[in-house]
Structure 1
Amino acid sequence: MPEKRPRPPTVRLRRLAAELRKLRASAGLSREDVAERTGINEVTLYRIERSRSRPQKRTLVGLLDLYQADDRQRADLLALQSRSNDQGWLRPYHSELPEEYTAYIGFEAEARTVRNYESLFIPGLAQTERYALEVIKGGMPTASQKQIAQRVQARMERQAVLTRDRPLQLWSIVDEAALTRQVGGAQVMREQAQHLLRLIEEPSVTFQVIPFEKGAHVGMTGSFVHMDFPDADDPELVYLDTPAGDLFLESEAEIRRYRLMFEHLQAVALGPNDSADLLAKVAEARW
Protein backbone atom coordinates (compact mmCIF):
# COMPACT_ATOMS: atom_id res chain seq x y z
CA MET A 1 0.00 0.00 0.00
CA PRO A 2 1.48 3.39 -0.97
CA GLU A 3 2.41 5.70 1.89
CA LYS A 4 -0.31 8.27 2.63
CA ARG A 5 0.83 11.68 1.49
CA PRO A 6 0.81 14.37 4.21
CA ARG A 7 -1.62 17.21 3.78
CA PRO A 8 -0.11 20.53 2.73
CA PRO A 9 0.24 23.18 5.46
CA THR A 10 -2.64 25.52 6.21
CA VAL A 11 -2.37 29.24 6.88
CA ARG A 12 -3.01 28.52 10.59
CA LEU A 13 -0.19 25.98 10.72
CA ARG A 14 2.19 28.47 9.08
CA ARG A 15 1.18 31.13 11.59
CA LEU A 16 1.69 28.73 14.50
CA ALA A 17 5.15 27.85 13.19
CA ALA A 18 6.07 31.52 12.75
CA GLU A 19 4.93 32.40 16.29
CA LEU A 20 6.90 29.52 17.79
CA ARG A 21 10.04 30.65 15.94
CA LYS A 22 9.55 34.17 17.33
CA LEU A 23 9.04 32.92 20.88
CA ARG A 24 12.17 30.76 20.74
CA ALA A 25 14.20 33.69 19.39
CA SER A 26 12.85 35.99 22.12
CA ALA A 27 13.86 33.41 24.72
CA GLY A 28 17.38 33.37 23.26
CA LEU A 29 17.35 29.63 22.74
CA SER A 30 18.74 27.50 19.93
CA ARG A 31 16.99 24.35 18.76
CA GLU A 32 19.72 22.40 20.51
CA ASP A 33 18.92 24.24 23.77
CA VAL A 34 15.23 23.41 23.41
CA ALA A 35 16.00 19.75 22.73
CA GLU A 36 18.17 19.51 25.85
CA ARG A 37 15.54 21.13 28.11
CA THR A 38 12.40 19.49 26.77
CA GLY A 39 13.52 16.22 25.21
CA ILE A 40 11.92 17.24 21.90
CA ASN A 41 14.01 15.94 19.02
CA GLU A 42 15.76 18.71 17.04
CA VAL A 43 14.43 17.32 13.77
CA THR A 44 10.90 17.33 15.17
CA LEU A 45 11.31 20.91 16.34
CA TYR A 46 12.65 21.94 12.93
CA ARG A 47 9.63 20.37 11.22
CA ILE A 48 7.25 22.14 13.61
CA GLU A 49 8.93 25.49 13.06
CA ARG A 50 8.85 25.07 9.27
CA SER A 51 5.11 24.16 9.31
CA ARG A 52 5.91 20.67 8.07
CA SER A 53 4.46 19.00 11.13
CA ARG A 54 1.56 19.80 13.47
CA PRO A 55 2.71 19.69 17.11
CA GLN A 56 0.80 17.54 19.56
CA LYS A 57 -0.89 19.53 22.29
CA ARG A 58 1.49 18.29 25.02
CA THR A 59 4.49 19.21 22.86
CA LEU A 60 3.11 22.69 22.28
CA VAL A 61 2.38 23.18 25.98
CA GLY A 62 5.96 22.14 26.79
CA LEU A 63 7.34 24.70 24.34
CA LEU A 64 5.08 27.46 25.67
CA ASP A 65 6.19 26.68 29.23
CA LEU A 66 9.85 26.83 28.23
CA TYR A 67 9.37 30.10 26.32
CA GLN A 68 7.40 31.60 29.24
CA ALA A 69 4.52 32.55 26.96
CA ASP A 70 1.93 34.83 28.55
CA ASP A 71 -1.74 33.87 28.91
CA ARG A 72 -2.81 35.59 25.67
CA GLN A 73 -0.06 33.97 23.61
CA ARG A 74 -0.83 30.59 25.16
CA ALA A 75 -4.56 30.84 24.39
CA ASP A 76 -3.95 32.05 20.82
CA LEU A 77 -1.43 29.35 19.94
CA LEU A 78 -3.43 26.52 21.50
CA ALA A 79 -6.43 27.69 19.47
CA LEU A 80 -4.31 27.71 16.32
CA GLN A 81 -3.06 24.20 17.08
CA SER A 82 -6.58 22.86 17.51
CA ARG A 83 -7.70 24.21 14.12
CA SER A 84 -4.43 23.97 12.19
CA ASN A 85 -5.59 21.07 10.01
CA ASP A 86 -8.86 22.70 8.85
CA GLN A 87 -8.89 22.48 5.04
CA GLY A 88 -12.44 22.89 3.80
CA TRP A 89 -11.16 23.58 0.29
CA LEU A 90 -9.91 20.00 -0.25
CA ARG A 91 -11.64 17.89 -2.89
CA PRO A 92 -11.36 14.06 -3.16
CA TYR A 93 -9.30 14.18 -6.36
CA HIS A 94 -6.83 16.71 -4.92
CA SER A 95 -4.84 13.81 -3.47
CA GLU A 96 -3.76 13.05 -7.04
CA LEU A 97 -2.46 16.58 -7.66
CA PRO A 98 1.13 17.57 -6.77
CA GLU A 99 1.52 18.42 -3.09
CA GLU A 100 2.85 21.92 -3.80
CA TYR A 101 -0.12 22.70 -6.02
CA THR A 102 -2.69 21.61 -3.43
CA ALA A 103 -0.82 23.74 -0.88
CA TYR A 104 -1.07 26.69 -3.25
CA ILE A 105 -4.82 26.12 -3.72
CA GLY A 106 -5.25 26.15 0.05
CA PHE A 107 -3.30 29.36 0.58
CA GLU A 108 -5.15 31.07 -2.27
CA ALA A 109 -8.52 30.03 -0.82
CA GLU A 110 -7.64 31.65 2.52
CA ALA A 111 -5.91 34.75 1.13
CA ARG A 112 -7.28 38.27 1.32
CA THR A 113 -5.25 39.68 -1.58
CA VAL A 114 -3.41 38.03 -4.45
CA ARG A 115 -0.96 40.07 -6.51
CA ASN A 116 -0.06 38.05 -9.58
CA TYR A 117 2.41 38.90 -12.34
CA GLU A 118 2.43 36.70 -15.43
CA SER A 119 4.70 37.14 -18.42
CA LEU A 120 3.41 34.52 -20.87
CA PHE A 121 -0.20 33.63 -20.12
CA ILE A 122 -3.39 34.90 -18.52
CA PRO A 123 -3.47 34.36 -14.72
CA GLY A 124 -5.21 31.13 -13.71
CA LEU A 125 -7.96 32.90 -11.76
CA ALA A 126 -8.95 34.75 -14.93
CA GLN A 127 -8.75 31.92 -17.46
CA THR A 128 -11.67 30.46 -19.39
CA GLU A 129 -12.03 26.70 -19.38
CA ARG A 130 -10.99 26.37 -23.04
CA TYR A 131 -7.95 28.60 -22.56
CA ALA A 132 -6.96 26.70 -19.37
CA LEU A 133 -7.22 23.39 -21.23
CA GLU A 134 -4.86 24.60 -23.97
CA VAL A 135 -2.37 26.09 -21.50
CA ILE A 136 -2.26 22.92 -19.40
CA LYS A 137 -1.99 20.62 -22.45
CA GLY A 138 0.87 22.72 -23.81
CA GLY A 139 2.70 22.83 -20.48
CA MET A 140 2.26 19.12 -19.66
CA PRO A 141 2.92 17.28 -22.95
CA THR A 142 3.35 13.88 -21.26
CA ALA A 143 0.29 14.10 -18.99
CA SER A 144 -2.67 11.77 -19.40
CA GLN A 145 -6.10 13.07 -20.32
CA LYS A 146 -7.23 12.36 -16.76
CA GLN A 147 -4.39 14.42 -15.29
CA ILE A 148 -5.12 17.31 -17.64
CA ALA A 149 -8.84 17.16 -16.84
CA GLN A 150 -8.08 17.26 -13.10
CA ARG A 151 -5.87 20.30 -13.53
CA VAL A 152 -8.53 22.11 -15.56
CA GLN A 153 -11.20 21.23 -12.99
CA ALA A 154 -9.03 22.48 -10.14
CA ARG A 155 -8.35 25.73 -11.98
CA MET A 156 -12.04 26.36 -12.60
CA GLU A 157 -12.92 25.57 -8.97
CA ARG A 158 -10.24 27.96 -7.73
CA GLN A 159 -12.08 30.84 -9.37
CA ALA A 160 -14.87 30.59 -6.78
CA VAL A 161 -12.72 32.86 -4.56
CA LEU A 162 -13.69 35.75 -6.86
CA THR A 163 -17.44 35.32 -6.33
CA ARG A 164 -17.67 34.39 -2.63
CA ASP A 165 -19.35 36.71 -0.09
CA ARG A 166 -16.05 38.44 0.63
CA PRO A 167 -14.26 38.05 -2.70
CA LEU A 168 -10.55 37.73 -3.00
CA GLN A 169 -8.91 41.00 -3.99
CA LEU A 170 -7.06 40.13 -7.20
CA TRP A 171 -4.46 42.45 -8.74
CA SER A 172 -3.07 40.99 -11.95
CA ILE A 173 -0.33 42.42 -14.12
CA VAL A 174 0.58 40.72 -17.38
CA ASP A 175 3.08 41.36 -20.13
CA GLU A 176 1.47 42.12 -23.48
CA ALA A 177 2.84 38.78 -24.70
CA ALA A 178 0.19 37.06 -22.57
CA LEU A 179 -2.53 38.78 -24.63
CA THR A 180 -1.06 38.23 -28.06
CA ARG A 181 0.23 34.66 -27.92
CA GLN A 182 -2.37 32.51 -29.69
CA VAL A 183 -3.19 29.84 -27.14
CA GLY A 184 -5.73 27.49 -28.70
CA GLY A 185 -6.39 29.66 -31.74
CA ALA A 186 -8.30 32.82 -32.57
CA GLN A 187 -11.67 31.85 -31.11
CA VAL A 188 -10.20 30.75 -27.78
CA MET A 189 -8.24 34.00 -27.50
CA ARG A 190 -11.26 36.09 -28.40
CA GLU A 191 -13.38 34.37 -25.76
CA GLN A 192 -10.59 34.78 -23.24
CA ALA A 193 -10.26 38.51 -23.89
CA GLN A 194 -14.03 38.98 -23.64
CA HIS A 195 -14.11 37.06 -20.36
CA LEU A 196 -11.35 39.28 -18.98
CA LEU A 197 -13.25 42.41 -19.99
CA ARG A 198 -16.24 41.22 -17.97
CA LEU A 199 -14.09 40.17 -15.03
CA ILE A 200 -12.27 43.48 -14.64
CA GLU A 201 -15.57 45.27 -14.18
CA GLU A 202 -15.69 43.71 -10.70
CA PRO A 203 -14.45 46.11 -7.98
CA SER A 204 -12.34 43.34 -6.45
CA VAL A 205 -10.30 42.84 -9.64
CA THR A 206 -7.56 45.13 -10.96
CA PHE A 207 -5.87 44.36 -14.26
CA GLN A 208 -2.83 46.01 -15.87
CA VAL A 209 -0.82 45.32 -19.00
CA ILE A 210 2.85 46.10 -19.64
CA PRO A 211 3.03 46.99 -23.36
CA PHE A 212 5.90 45.88 -25.55
CA GLU A 213 7.12 49.44 -26.03
CA LYS A 214 8.07 49.65 -22.33
CA GLY A 215 11.08 47.44 -23.12
CA ALA A 216 12.93 45.63 -20.34
CA HIS A 217 11.38 45.47 -16.87
CA VAL A 218 11.84 43.59 -13.58
CA GLY A 219 9.14 41.04 -14.41
CA MET A 220 11.20 39.56 -17.23
CA THR A 221 12.93 37.33 -14.68
CA GLY A 222 9.73 35.34 -14.21
CA SER A 223 6.17 35.17 -12.93
CA PHE A 224 5.22 35.19 -9.25
CA VAL A 225 2.30 35.43 -6.84
CA HIS A 226 2.33 37.46 -3.62
CA MET A 227 -0.42 36.74 -1.08
CA ASP A 228 -1.51 38.29 2.18
CA PHE A 229 -4.22 37.09 4.55
CA PRO A 230 -7.18 38.55 6.48
CA ASP A 231 -5.40 38.34 9.83
CA ALA A 232 -2.42 40.66 9.89
CA ASP A 233 -0.58 38.16 12.10
CA ASP A 234 -0.62 35.53 9.34
CA PRO A 235 2.71 35.71 7.46
CA GLU A 236 2.65 36.82 3.83
CA LEU A 237 3.72 34.37 1.15
CA VAL A 238 5.32 34.41 -2.30
CA TYR A 239 4.78 31.52 -4.70
CA LEU A 240 7.01 30.72 -7.68
CA ASP A 241 6.17 28.10 -10.30
CA THR A 242 9.52 27.12 -11.82
CA PRO A 243 10.79 24.30 -14.09
CA ALA A 244 12.75 23.02 -11.10
CA GLY A 245 9.60 22.82 -8.96
CA ASP A 246 7.21 25.05 -7.04
CA LEU A 247 8.69 27.30 -4.35
CA PHE A 248 7.10 29.05 -1.37
CA LEU A 249 9.05 32.02 0.01
CA GLU A 250 8.19 33.56 3.36
CA SER A 251 11.24 35.29 4.86
CA GLU A 252 10.84 39.02 5.45
CA ALA A 253 13.65 39.82 3.00
CA GLU A 254 12.07 37.71 0.24
CA ILE A 255 8.60 39.17 0.81
CA ARG A 256 10.02 42.69 0.77
CA ARG A 257 11.87 42.01 -2.50
CA TYR A 258 8.81 40.72 -4.34
CA ARG A 259 6.57 43.43 -2.92
CA LEU A 260 9.01 45.99 -4.34
CA MET A 261 9.10 44.16 -7.69
CA PHE A 262 5.31 44.31 -7.92
CA GLU A 263 5.38 48.04 -7.17
CA HIS A 264 7.85 48.53 -10.03
CA LEU A 265 5.57 46.54 -12.34
CA GLN A 266 2.56 48.64 -11.30
CA ALA A 267 4.50 51.76 -12.18
CA VAL A 268 5.67 50.60 -15.62
CA ALA A 269 2.33 49.06 -16.66
CA LEU A 270 -0.56 50.86 -18.31
CA GLY A 271 -3.20 52.07 -15.90
CA PRO A 272 -6.35 49.95 -15.48
CA ASN A 273 -8.39 52.03 -17.95
CA ASP A 274 -5.72 52.00 -20.67
CA SER A 275 -5.18 48.30 -20.04
CA ALA A 276 -8.91 47.70 -20.56
CA ASP A 277 -8.73 49.63 -23.85
CA LEU A 278 -5.86 47.45 -25.03
CA LEU A 279 -7.74 44.34 -23.96
CA ALA A 280 -10.80 45.49 -25.92
CA LYS A 281 -8.66 45.79 -29.05
CA VAL A 282 -7.43 42.24 -28.50
CA ALA A 283 -11.04 41.03 -28.15
CA GLU A 284 -11.94 42.71 -31.46
CA ALA A 285 -8.83 41.59 -33.35
CA ARG A 286 -9.16 39.21 -36.27
CA TRP A 287 -6.00 37.33 -35.33
Structure 2
Amino acid sequence: MSERRGPTIRRRRLGNELRRHRDAAGITIEAVAEKLECSASKISRIETGHTTASPRDVRDMLLIYGLSAAESEELVQIAREARQKGWWHPYSKVLAGSYVGLESAANSMRTYEQQVVPGLLETEAYASAMIRAARPDIEPDQVTQRVRVRINRQSLLTQEDPVDLWVVLDEAVLHRPVGGDAVMRGQLRRLVEVAELPNVTLQILPFAVGAHAGMDGTFTILSFPEAGDPDVVYAENATGGLFLEKSDELQKYNFIFDHIRAAATRPEDSIAQIAELAEEPLWNWRPRGSMGT
Protein backbone atom coordinates (compact mmCIF):
# COMPACT_ATOMS: atom_id res chain seq x y z
CA MET A 1 0.00 0.00 0.00
CA SER A 2 1.28 3.46 -0.87
CA GLU A 3 2.19 5.71 2.04
CA ARG A 4 -0.35 8.16 0.66
CA ARG A 5 -3.16 5.58 0.82
CA GLY A 6 -2.88 4.42 4.41
CA PRO A 7 -5.77 2.96 6.40
CA THR A 8 -6.39 6.09 8.49
CA ILE A 9 -6.98 8.36 5.50
CA ARG A 10 -9.11 5.66 3.87
CA ARG A 11 -11.26 5.42 6.99
CA ARG A 12 -11.65 9.20 7.03
CA ARG A 13 -12.60 9.34 3.35
CA LEU A 14 -15.06 6.48 3.77
CA GLY A 15 -16.75 8.27 6.66
CA ASN A 16 -17.05 11.49 4.66
CA GLU A 17 -18.63 9.67 1.74
CA LEU A 18 -21.06 7.74 3.91
CA ARG A 19 -22.15 10.94 5.63
CA ARG A 20 -22.60 12.64 2.25
CA HIS A 21 -24.81 9.82 0.95
CA ARG A 22 -26.84 9.76 4.17
CA ASP A 23 -27.44 13.51 4.01
CA ALA A 24 -28.44 13.25 0.34
CA ALA A 25 -30.95 10.54 1.24
CA GLY A 26 -32.38 12.68 4.07
CA ILE A 27 -31.94 9.93 6.66
CA THR A 28 -30.95 10.50 10.28
CA ILE A 29 -28.17 8.66 12.09
CA GLU A 30 -30.77 7.26 14.48
CA ALA A 31 -32.80 5.80 11.60
CA VAL A 32 -29.72 4.12 10.14
CA ALA A 33 -28.77 2.69 13.53
CA GLU A 34 -32.27 1.29 13.99
CA LYS A 35 -32.21 -0.45 10.60
CA LEU A 36 -28.75 -1.91 11.23
CA GLU A 37 -29.63 -2.81 14.83
CA CYS A 38 -26.65 -0.99 16.28
CA SER A 39 -26.05 2.15 18.31
CA ALA A 40 -26.25 5.64 16.84
CA SER A 41 -22.79 6.29 18.29
CA LYS A 42 -21.37 3.54 16.09
CA ILE A 43 -22.74 5.20 12.95
CA SER A 44 -21.45 8.57 14.13
CA ARG A 45 -17.95 7.17 14.79
CA ILE A 46 -17.89 5.54 11.36
CA GLU A 47 -18.80 8.85 9.72
CA THR A 48 -16.12 10.75 11.62
CA GLY A 49 -13.48 8.13 10.80
CA HIS A 50 -12.96 7.03 14.40
CA THR A 51 -14.26 3.50 13.83
CA THR A 52 -13.54 1.14 10.96
CA ALA A 53 -16.66 -0.03 9.12
CA SER A 54 -16.82 -3.59 7.82
CA PRO A 55 -17.53 -4.06 4.09
CA ARG A 56 -20.87 -5.60 5.06
CA ASP A 57 -21.80 -2.53 7.15
CA VAL A 58 -20.95 -0.29 4.21
CA ARG A 59 -23.06 -2.33 1.80
CA ASP A 60 -26.00 -2.27 4.21
CA MET A 61 -25.72 1.46 4.82
CA LEU A 62 -25.51 2.31 1.13
CA LEU A 63 -28.48 0.05 0.41
CA ILE A 64 -30.47 2.12 2.93
CA TYR A 65 -29.36 5.26 1.11
CA GLY A 66 -30.64 3.90 -2.20
CA LEU A 67 -27.36 3.06 -3.94
CA SER A 68 -27.10 0.01 -6.16
CA ALA A 69 -24.54 -2.75 -5.59
CA ALA A 70 -22.49 -1.48 -8.52
CA GLU A 71 -22.51 2.09 -7.18
CA SER A 72 -21.48 0.85 -3.73
CA GLU A 73 -18.51 -1.25 -4.84
CA GLU A 74 -15.91 1.55 -4.73
CA LEU A 75 -16.73 2.43 -1.11
CA VAL A 76 -16.84 -1.25 -0.15
CA GLN A 77 -13.30 -1.57 -1.53
CA ILE A 78 -12.21 1.47 0.50
CA ALA A 79 -13.70 -0.24 3.58
CA ARG A 80 -11.49 -3.29 2.88
CA GLU A 81 -8.40 -1.10 2.55
CA ALA A 82 -9.26 0.81 5.72
CA ARG A 83 -9.17 -2.43 7.71
CA GLN A 84 -5.52 -3.08 6.87
CA LYS A 85 -2.90 -2.34 9.52
CA GLY A 86 -0.46 0.55 9.25
CA TRP A 87 3.21 0.16 10.21
CA TRP A 88 2.42 1.86 13.54
CA HIS A 89 -0.17 -0.74 14.60
CA PRO A 90 2.27 -2.65 16.90
CA TYR A 91 2.71 0.59 18.86
CA SER A 92 -1.01 1.38 19.20
CA LYS A 93 -0.87 1.05 23.00
CA VAL A 94 1.38 4.11 23.27
CA LEU A 95 -0.29 6.20 20.57
CA ALA A 96 -3.23 8.53 21.20
CA GLY A 97 -5.70 9.10 18.38
CA SER A 98 -5.07 8.75 14.66
CA TYR A 99 -2.46 11.46 14.10
CA VAL A 100 0.34 9.16 12.91
CA GLY A 101 -1.94 7.62 10.31
CA LEU A 102 -3.01 11.00 8.96
CA GLU A 103 0.57 12.23 8.97
CA SER A 104 1.71 9.24 6.92
CA ALA A 105 -0.90 10.06 4.26
CA ALA A 106 -0.21 13.80 4.07
CA ASN A 107 1.77 15.34 1.23
CA SER A 108 2.16 18.71 2.98
CA MET A 109 2.44 19.75 6.62
CA ARG A 110 2.69 23.21 8.18
CA THR A 111 3.62 23.25 11.85
CA TYR A 112 4.00 25.85 14.56
CA GLU A 113 5.67 24.67 17.77
CA GLN A 114 6.05 26.71 20.97
CA GLN A 115 7.82 24.40 23.40
CA VAL A 116 9.74 21.51 21.82
CA VAL A 117 11.22 20.34 18.54
CA PRO A 118 8.55 18.55 16.44
CA GLY A 119 8.77 14.76 16.37
CA LEU A 120 9.77 14.60 12.69
CA LEU A 121 12.92 16.62 13.47
CA GLU A 122 13.97 15.12 16.82
CA THR A 123 17.09 13.12 17.56
CA GLU A 124 16.61 9.90 19.47
CA ALA A 125 18.31 11.31 22.58
CA TYR A 126 16.20 14.48 22.55
CA ALA A 127 12.98 12.52 22.03
CA SER A 128 13.78 10.20 24.91
CA ALA A 129 14.62 13.06 27.29
CA MET A 130 11.54 15.05 26.29
CA ILE A 131 9.13 12.13 26.68
CA ARG A 132 10.57 11.17 30.08
CA ALA A 133 10.20 14.74 31.31
CA ALA A 134 6.71 15.28 29.88
CA ARG A 135 5.39 11.87 30.96
CA PRO A 136 7.03 10.90 34.26
CA ASP A 137 4.14 8.48 34.89
CA ILE A 138 4.93 6.01 32.08
CA GLU A 139 7.20 2.97 32.18
CA PRO A 140 10.66 2.89 30.55
CA ASP A 141 9.53 0.38 27.91
CA GLN A 142 6.76 2.76 26.87
CA VAL A 143 9.28 5.57 26.51
CA THR A 144 11.33 3.28 24.26
CA GLN A 145 8.29 2.47 22.11
CA ARG A 146 7.30 6.12 21.79
CA VAL A 147 10.84 7.05 20.72
CA ARG A 148 10.85 4.22 18.17
CA VAL A 149 7.62 5.51 16.64
CA ARG A 150 9.05 9.03 16.35
CA ILE A 151 12.21 7.81 14.65
CA ASN A 152 10.22 5.62 12.24
CA ARG A 153 7.97 8.57 11.35
CA GLN A 154 10.99 10.52 10.14
CA SER A 155 11.22 8.37 7.00
CA LEU A 156 8.44 10.63 5.66
CA LEU A 157 11.10 13.29 5.05
CA THR A 158 13.43 11.12 2.95
CA GLN A 159 11.23 8.53 1.25
CA GLU A 160 10.80 8.49 -2.54
CA ASP A 161 7.77 10.81 -2.34
CA PRO A 162 8.62 12.89 0.75
CA VAL A 163 6.22 15.08 2.65
CA ASP A 164 6.64 18.84 2.17
CA LEU A 165 7.28 20.16 5.69
CA TRP A 166 7.23 23.82 6.77
CA VAL A 167 8.06 24.38 10.43
CA VAL A 168 8.03 27.59 12.45
CA LEU A 169 9.69 27.21 15.85
CA ASP A 170 9.28 29.69 18.65
CA GLU A 171 12.73 30.90 19.70
CA ALA A 172 12.10 29.45 23.17
CA VAL A 173 12.50 25.95 21.69
CA LEU A 174 16.15 26.68 20.88
CA HIS A 175 17.03 27.87 24.38
CA ARG A 176 15.47 25.08 26.44
CA PRO A 177 18.23 22.45 26.92
CA VAL A 178 16.11 19.31 26.88
CA GLY A 179 18.29 16.41 28.01
CA GLY A 180 21.21 18.64 28.94
CA ASP A 181 23.97 20.38 27.02
CA ALA A 182 25.24 17.53 24.81
CA VAL A 183 21.78 16.29 23.85
CA MET A 184 20.56 19.78 22.97
CA ARG A 185 23.63 20.65 20.94
CA GLY A 186 23.11 17.44 18.98
CA GLN A 187 19.49 18.38 18.43
CA LEU A 188 20.37 21.83 17.12
CA ARG A 189 22.88 20.30 14.69
CA ARG A 190 20.19 17.88 13.57
CA LEU A 191 17.89 20.82 12.77
CA VAL A 192 20.58 22.38 10.60
CA GLU A 193 21.10 19.07 8.81
CA VAL A 194 17.40 18.40 8.15
CA ALA A 195 16.81 21.97 6.96
CA GLU A 196 19.12 21.22 4.01
CA LEU A 197 16.51 18.84 2.58
CA PRO A 198 14.69 20.45 -0.37
CA ASN A 199 11.28 19.51 1.07
CA VAL A 200 11.91 21.08 4.50
CA THR A 201 11.55 24.78 5.37
CA LEU A 202 12.49 25.87 8.89
CA GLN A 203 11.98 29.31 10.42
CA ILE A 204 12.46 30.79 13.88
CA LEU A 205 9.88 33.12 15.41
CA PRO A 206 12.07 35.48 17.48
CA PHE A 207 11.32 36.81 20.94
CA ALA A 208 11.59 40.32 19.50
CA VAL A 209 8.30 39.84 17.64
CA GLY A 210 6.47 40.08 20.96
CA ALA A 211 2.81 39.06 20.93
CA HIS A 212 1.83 37.26 17.72
CA ALA A 213 -0.97 35.35 15.96
CA GLY A 214 0.10 31.95 17.33
CA MET A 215 -0.14 32.76 21.04
CA ASP A 216 -3.01 30.30 21.53
CA GLY A 217 -0.81 27.24 21.04
CA THR A 218 0.90 24.62 18.94
CA PHE A 219 -0.78 23.21 15.83
CA THR A 220 -0.18 21.36 12.57
CA ILE A 221 -2.09 21.74 9.29
CA LEU A 222 -2.08 18.53 7.26
CA SER A 223 -2.91 18.55 3.53
CA PHE A 224 -3.50 15.50 1.35
CA PRO A 225 -2.87 14.83 -2.34
CA GLU A 226 -6.40 13.85 -3.36
CA ALA A 227 -9.30 16.29 -3.60
CA GLY A 228 -11.58 13.93 -1.67
CA ASP A 229 -9.41 14.30 1.44
CA PRO A 230 -9.84 17.82 2.89
CA ASP A 231 -7.19 19.44 5.09
CA VAL A 232 -7.23 18.83 8.82
CA VAL A 233 -5.75 20.81 11.71
CA TYR A 234 -4.26 18.99 14.69
CA ALA A 235 -4.15 21.20 17.80
CA GLU A 236 -2.04 19.43 20.39
CA ASN A 237 -2.70 19.25 24.13
CA ALA A 238 -1.75 17.07 27.12
CA THR A 239 -4.45 14.47 26.40
CA GLY A 240 -3.55 13.92 22.76
CA GLY A 241 -5.00 16.85 20.84
CA LEU A 242 -7.99 17.85 18.75
CA PHE A 243 -8.69 17.32 15.06
CA LEU A 244 -10.40 20.31 13.43
CA GLU A 245 -11.93 19.95 9.98
CA LYS A 246 -14.64 22.61 9.59
CA SER A 247 -14.00 25.16 6.86
CA ASP A 248 -14.01 28.12 9.26
CA GLU A 249 -11.51 26.34 11.53
CA LEU A 250 -9.20 25.58 8.60
CA GLN A 251 -9.46 29.17 7.40
CA LYS A 252 -8.54 30.46 10.85
CA TYR A 253 -5.45 28.28 11.18
CA ASN A 254 -4.26 28.99 7.65
CA PHE A 255 -4.59 32.69 8.48
CA ILE A 256 -2.61 32.23 11.71
CA PHE A 257 0.18 30.25 10.03
CA ASP A 258 0.52 32.80 7.24
CA HIS A 259 0.97 35.56 9.83
CA ILE A 260 3.44 33.52 11.89
CA ARG A 261 5.71 32.67 8.99
CA ALA A 262 5.58 36.27 7.76
CA ALA A 263 6.75 37.44 11.20
CA ALA A 264 9.43 34.74 11.49
CA THR A 265 13.10 35.09 10.55
CA ARG A 266 13.94 34.08 6.97
CA PRO A 267 14.86 30.37 6.58
CA GLU A 268 18.53 31.00 5.72
CA ASP A 269 18.96 33.36 8.68
CA SER A 270 17.10 30.95 10.97
CA ILE A 271 19.49 28.12 10.08
CA ALA A 272 22.50 30.37 10.66
CA GLN A 273 21.11 31.27 14.09
CA ILE A 274 20.59 27.60 15.01
CA ALA A 275 24.10 26.67 13.85
CA GLU A 276 25.57 29.45 15.96
CA LEU A 277 23.60 28.36 19.04
CA ALA A 278 24.84 24.78 18.60
CA GLU A 279 28.38 26.11 19.10
CA GLU A 280 27.63 28.81 21.70
CA PRO A 281 24.30 28.04 23.38
CA LEU A 282 22.76 30.74 25.53
CA TRP A 283 21.88 28.29 28.32
CA ASN A 284 25.64 28.09 29.09
CA TRP A 285 25.99 31.86 29.21
CA ARG A 286 26.73 33.47 32.56
CA PRO A 287 27.11 37.20 33.22
CA ARG A 288 30.47 38.33 34.59
CA GLY A 289 30.61 38.06 38.33
CA SER A 290 27.78 35.51 38.44
CA MET A 291 28.05 32.93 41.20
CA GLY A 292 25.59 30.61 39.48
CA THR A 293 26.66 27.02 38.88
Task: Report 1:225-240 matches (<5 A).
Answer: 225-240=220-235
The aligned counterpart of 2:204 is 209
The aligned counterpart of 2:127 is 132
The aligned counterpart of 2:241 is 246
1:96 aligns with 2:90: no
1:15 corresponds to which of 13, 17, 21: 13
Change (3 A) 1:154 1:41: closer
Q: What is the deviation of 1:41? A: 4.6
User: Runs of 4 or more off by more than 6 Å in structure 1?
Assistant: none
C-alpha separation in 1, matches of 2:24 and 2:100: 33
C-alpha separation in 2, matches of 1:11 and 1:108: 9
1:190 aligns with 2:185: yes
Cα shift readout 1:50-95 (whole Å, capped 9, x = no counterpart): 2233333333223323334478863431221121122331253x04
1:63 aligns with 2:61: yes
C-alpha separation in 2, matches of 1:109 and 1:24: 29
Q: Is the 8 A contact 1:87 1:106 kept in 2?
A: no
Q: Which runs of 5+ in 2 are unaligned?
A: 1-5, 285-293
Task: Report 1:168-183 matches (<5 A).
Answer: 168-183=163-178
Q: Is the 8 A contact 2:55 2:77 kept in 1?
A: no
Q: Is the 8 A contact 1:18 1:235 kept in 2?
A: no
Residue 154 of structure 2 aligns to a residue in which SS? helix
Q: Is the 8 A contact 1:9 1:51 kept in 2?
A: no
Cα shift readout 1:100-119 (whole Å, capped 9, x = no counterpart): 2xx22222122111211100
Q: Number of aligned residue pairs: give it.
A: 277
1:259 aligns with 2:234: no
2:81 corresponds to which of 80, 83, 87: 83
Counterpart of 1:196, as a letter, is L
Higher alpha-carbon deviation: 62-71 or 192-201: 62-71
Change (3 A) 1:212 1:48: same
C-alpha separation in 1, matches of 2:233 and 2:68: 31
Counterpart of 2:52, as a letter, is R
Change (3 A) 1:172 1:78: same
C-alpha separation in 2, matches of 1:20 and 1:32: 14
Counterpart of 1:24, as a letter, is R
Change (3 A) 1:58 1:121: closer
Q: Which runs of 5+ in 1 are unaligned?
A: 1-7
TM-score, length of structure 2 as denominator length:
0.85
C-alpha separation in 2, matches of 1:169 and 1:155: 17
Cα shift readout 1:124-151 (whole Å, capped 9, x = no counterpart): 1111111112211111122222222222
C-alpha separation in 1, matches of 2:191 and 2:33: 54
Q: Is the 8 A contact 1:225 1:240 kept in 2?
A: yes
Counterpart of 2:48, as a letter, is R
1:105 corresponds to which of 84, 100, 108: 100
C-alpha separation in 2, matches of 1:214 and 1:76: 51
1:218 aligns with 2:216: no
Change (3 A) 1:187 1:31: same
C-alpha separation in 2, matches of 1:28 and 1:260: 35
Cα shift readout 1:164-198 (whole Å, capped 9, x = no counterpart): 11111111111000111121222222211111111
Higher alpha-carbon deviation: 75-84 or 202-211: 75-84
Change (3 A) 1:136 1:40: closer
TM-score, length of structure 1 as denominator length:
0.87
Counterpart of 2:150, as a letter, is R
